[in-house]
Structure 1
């Protein structure tokens, strides 16, 4: 987009567009790690539909209260990184992160190209000159022994492990693993094993062209960590300085969000984005199933488009069933054939359920929040709601979505501008 080109529709992940921005959500209250903020309003692309914005806000953590960090920078110095927006940007980005560390922290540096090597043994973050010198000494060249690099980085992290601290490998690469344990299953097995020992993975993608974006995101997910794409110093500052707490410190792991819609109020619904993060209903209560992490001060936003009860909506046709009688209103996806409970007559639109584990825990806890639709239009919606809806609409237009209706880019701009009050 910055280069004046429209990305391929399949490359647009609407949830990432929405979650790129900061929102003014409620803070965590009591002993829970995050607050839940829900707002329901008119869907801009279809005024007859409703839009539910569900937001989580991770507990803020002051820098002085942050646990000590044991960081291993795992830096790709292969030939594919020999471009201005790759290794040179990595070097400047890592130095930004170093400047955010304090005297309790330590840094190691591992590099990989044709082979992996230790460039900097564990060094106190107070010795910034030594760390910066090691970063500046890096040069690109050779093939990509990504697997060997990851093994050495985790080995170094274990040797320097800080009990009760943040132990994390920070991978900076264009994702082009082409030598070593390059098959996905072996990498994931290794990363999951190390995550269980308390060493997390942050994956930072740099450059364009051969960047394996989806692969890096998946590796970070399996490593109880996070992923970000950095294409400029401005983006590096956002991820590694402004959002350093969320990038480094996990306050809840295996966070799962489930929304139960009231069939007395809702005919159908759809989650906007998150195509590669769908969770089966039966996995919500299964503590053995891995899910995402939330960092300190981190926000997560999900949007659901809702068809109110009584409205007709298109549904895919299916062949007649041999062993079942056709059921009226079969297209209403919230109907399961079960009789309604008393709660269905409460007027509640939906209930948000969230399961999460403490960073060092194995058993999940449950938070719930029931939501009633007050019938608000866009004029009465909050600025955050309008802006998030504008970003979602923008993403749908980029994806050429059938759900965007008559929405135009000018509509998106006007809606976004109405949400820029803060």
Structure 2
């Protein structure tokens, strides 16, 4: 089969016809702890005000300031100053990425603490099974619960969104996957290209006969090793092409992605899950190195054909920021693999959930009740924030979510003394992948649902969420109400691993223990509080 090398000749000038077959979407079921349900509905307004702010007067949406909800307007040098009325809304795009946690585990296993800039708490939290009830149909269930944080009048409130279970191997639509593999010199390190080859070998064994794959490699330029090829009758050929990959020169991520999208468009399969999968350490050093510019050059493939980008990171040195930005702007997701066990989880368990979409441009908005809530803070999601007034502007980019996914947002919430009743309403909005018709669901939560003890209670999965969030905040130099030290946190994770019989929680306990030993072996510092990003409600 002919191999083709990319220079930078665009093939998008040719007329292209057809679009990807319709993806599934539809109704859903709502669940909410101590909550109320609304029926699923299509929402006709493309633009509009934020979701209703229960118990709070005024419009709210225009009260967003500087991307931080309700941050008090005090001048750094001039003391307190006048500011807009405090904000009671929190709006963000959904995110199912997990790469930050995987890379942190790899770094800790190597004896070092991760760079705080690579720690994204939402990706730690979303790395663990949550146990939410899933909807019967296609869409989201909305689940809200919480517990006292053990620090005065603060609670942790968990907003959980879940889609229906992913189809089985035989039930899912066919896959049409274009693998874009980094074969630059840096990929020679053990745990990079060798792991990628093992991963693709695992996937070749797991894919169905009616699935198709293509293979593009890149170093200083890009080369097509295999055009889109059906698995039936070609598994041996695919394995041979995978085995032939060897590390060579520099890292031109732009050339690889451009070539990959050209192959994906040329070989797209109607009605299949058409995806580009980038496998790289993302250490771009040749060609265009900015994510925005890279993706602009293949924008028509994303917009016209809906081909999304799934990123798989590898390597002890890893371009985390570039990979995350590429996949966020490429309407996809990113994860990280450090060993064969993780590779099997990603390529056998996770990748099939990315082959179809339940929701496009999905976002959530939480409206806090100022009668019961004094302060709140969303943990993480800093680079996924959406302006409150854009919640129902469906031209604004959101997150893409497939079947079998859960998305968790954890809030630190400070209740007013003696508060009782409604705390917040969580609303999720998304577009049908085929029709782009908007839908919404919501659930409410009351003080009773966030007033029980966190530790020792029945909510083991909520406790795992709290441990993951506390761990991430500590690693990035921040703090949360009720945060234990790393030693105590490791003990709690260990007990939860036993109680849940969950190996992923056991690995979390191991990672926390490693971080504790590394810190004690250097400066013994448990870390001080970071900047408070609380929402003060007047």
Whether TM exceeds 0.5 here: the answer is: yes
Matched with 1:155 is: 262
Check the 8 A contact 1:202/1:220 in 2, yes or no: yes
Q: How does 1:220-239 map to 2 (within 5 A)?
A: 220-239=327-346
C-alpha distance in structure 2 between counterparts of 1:141 and 1:285, whole Å: 48
Of the three residues 369, 384, 387, the one matched with 2:461 is: 384
Matched with 2:475 is: 398
In the alignment, does 2:355 pair up with 1:278?
no
TM-score computed with the length of structure 2 as normaliser? 0.68
Cα deviation, residue 399, structure 1: 2.2
In the alignment, does 2:449 pair up with 1:366?
no
Of the three residues 143, 149, 172, the one matched with 2:279 is: 172
Q: How does 1:249-398 map to 2 (within 5 A)?
A: 249-310=356-417, 347-374=421-448, 375-378=451-454, 379-398=456-475
C-alpha distance in structure 2 between counterparts of 1:301 and 1:405, whole Å: 19
C-alpha distance in structure 1 between counterparts of 2:323 and 2:394, whole Å: 24
Check the 8 A contact 2:149/2:481 in 1, yes or no: no
In the alignment, does 2:279 pair up with 1:203?
no
Provide Cα deviations, 1:222-268, integer angstroms capped at 9, x if missing partner: 22211111111121112111223223332212110110001111011
Matched with 1:122 is: 228
Cα deviation, residue 406, structure 1: 6.0
Cα deviation, residue 346, structure 1: 9.1
Check the 8 A contact 1:287/1:363 in 2, yes or no: no
Identify if the C-alpha distance between structure 1 residues 86 and 236 changes in structure 2 by more than 3 Å, giving closer, same or farther: same
Cα deviation, residue 57, structure 1: 1.9
C-alpha distance in structure 1 between counterparts of 2:190 and 2:159, whole Å: 39
Matched with 2:186 is: 80
C-alpha distance in structure 1 between counterparts of 2:440 and 2:117, whole Å: 34
C-alpha distance in structure 1 between counterparts of 2:260 and 2:475, whole Å: 38
Check the 8 A contact 2:184/2:249 in 1, yes or no: yes
C-alpha distance in structure 2 between counterparts of 1:114 and 1:417, whole Å: 46
Cα deviation, residue 73, structure 1: 0.6
Check the 8 A contact 1:393/1:404 in 2, yes or no: no
Check the 8 A contact 1:194/1:223 in 2, yes or no: no
Indicate the structure whose relative CO is greater, using CA pairs within 8 Å and at least 6 residues apart: 2
C-alpha distance in structure 1 between counterparts of 2:261 and 2:289, whole Å: 16
C-alpha distance in structure 2 between counterparts of 1:18 and 1:308, whole Å: 23
Identify if the C-alpha distance between structure 1 residues 136 and 301 changes in structure 2 by more than 3 Å, giving closer, same or farther: same
C-alpha distance in structure 2 between counterparts of 1:148 and 1:396, whole Å: 36
SS state of the match for residue 67, structure 1? coil
In the alignment, does 2:521 pair up with 1:412?
no
Identify if the C-alpha distance between structure 1 residues 394 and 404 changes in structure 2 by more than 3 Å, giving closer, same or farther: farther
Check the 8 A contact 1:57/1:299 in 2, yes or no: yes
C-alpha distance in structure 2 between counterparts of 1:43 and 1:10, whole Å: 26
In the alignment, does 2:169 pair up with 1:95?
no
Provide Cα deviations, 1:360-389, integer angstroms capped at 9, x if missing partner: 343321111111221222233411011111
Structure 2 runs not aligned, ≥5 long? 1-107, 501-538
Cα deviation, residue 414, structure 1: 3.7
C-alpha distance in structure 2 between counterparts of 1:53 and 1:205, whole Å: 28
Check the 8 A contact 1:245/1:296 in 2, yes or no: no
Cα deviation, residue 415, structure 1: 3.1
SS state of the match for residue 207, structure 1? coil
Cα deviation, residue 350, structure 1: 0.5
Check the 8 A contact 1:191/1:223 in 2, yes or no: no
CA RMSD of aligned residues (A): 2.0
Structure 1 runs not aligned, ≥5 long? 312-344
Matched with 1:49 is: 154
| Greater strand fraction, Structure 1 or Structure 2 | 1
Matched with 2:115 is: 8
* Greater Cα offset, 365-374 or 394-403: 394-403
TM-score computed with the length of structure 1 as normaliser? 0.86
Cα deviation, residue 172, structure 1: 0.7
C-alpha distance in structure 2 between counterparts of 1:53 and 1:407, whole Å: 19
Provide Cα deviations, 1:375-421, integer angstroms capped at 9, x if missing partner: 22223341101111111112222223243556212331343345343
SS state of the match for residue 388, structure 1? helix
C-alpha distance in structure 1 between counterparts of 2:368 and 2:146, whole Å: 13
Check the 8 A contact 1:191/1:222 in 2, yes or no: no
Provide Cα deviations, 1:169-197, integer angstroms capped at 9, x if missing partner: 11111112222333333213235432212
Check the 8 A contact 1:383/1:418 in 2, yes or no: no
C-alpha distance in structure 2 between counterparts of 1:153 and 1:399, whole Å: 35
C-alpha distance in structure 2 between counterparts of 1:108 and 1:390, whole Å: 40
Provide Cα deviations, 1:140-181, integer angstroms capped at 9, x if missing partner: 111223222212211111111122211111111111222233
Provide Cα deviations, 1:276-317, integer angstroms capped at 9, x if missing partner: 111110121110111111122112111000010249xxxxxx
SS state of the match for residue 248, structure 2? coil
